[in-house]
Structure 1
Amino acid sequence: MFNSVQKWIDYLDGGCNVLGVTFDLFHKELILSVKVSELNKVTQHEIRFMNVASLYYNGGEGNDRFEELIQEEMNWQIFECSYHPNGIGNLKNVLLEEFDSNTNFLFNINGMLLAIESKNVCFDSQEFICSL
């Protein structure tokens, strides 16, 4: 559909609903199932992050991150997403010095942050290398 990761991200950043999120720890793979509505056309897509090197989730700002959510009552949307080919910079904690990451995808889903460092990404069946 699109010939670059950035064009796919721009397309998704226009607004889409999140239908599901699956993380397979043993295969280092994260899958986002999304639905994009344009005019009178609804299209479903699968975004498959492969060789995930790091994954960070934050449930929201302040005490909101502890709020209990009822999945069925929410309209799950990607409010903002971005791709950073060189990453956003090294994320590290002094207590865990041996672990660091350089996230290259950021997603704001209903005010929650999903930060992903992935070597490859597949939009539907179209695969791209996104980190060297």
Structure 2
Amino acid sequence: MNVLSKILKKMTRTDIVLVVLIVVLSLAGIIFPLLHTSEEHDELQLVIEQGGEEILRQEHPYQESGVQKIEFSWESEEYVARLEHDGSRVRLKRLEKDVVPLPIHVDMGWIEEPGEMIVALPVQMVVELEGDTGERELDGVSGTYN
């Protein structure tokens, strides 16, 4: 406590006001974004495309949790993709190794926000959540609107 009182004695009122202001602004910078990240999204759609063609479009979140089977074809063969639903989250389960050798799509994990997607290559499958994201901002990396 002696150290704190010595420091306070050396500080002027302006120094104390400045320190308090910096602490308050720092805390506001942490708390304010947390309060505004829980925005609700209207009319979310789960869209699955393969080779640029839409093979499924449905309302999201899906009515029940569990696994939904999606049939698709690749190089004249029929396969089944398993889409796991858990409330408002969705993920693509491991596709067969002879179709997709590397499980990168599994590593992408769960998606639950508009604009998030899962990509499975080389079968060119894209699982995406589409919907209103509120403000439309230009993405500086891809040059598209979110």
Give TM-score, length-normalised by structure 2: 0.26
Give TM-score, length-normalised by structure 1: 0.28
Which structure is higher in strand share? 1
Q: Which has the higher contact order (CA 8 A, sep 6+)?
A: 1
Which structure is higher in helix share? 2
- Name which one, 1 or 2, has greater alpha-carbon Rg: 2
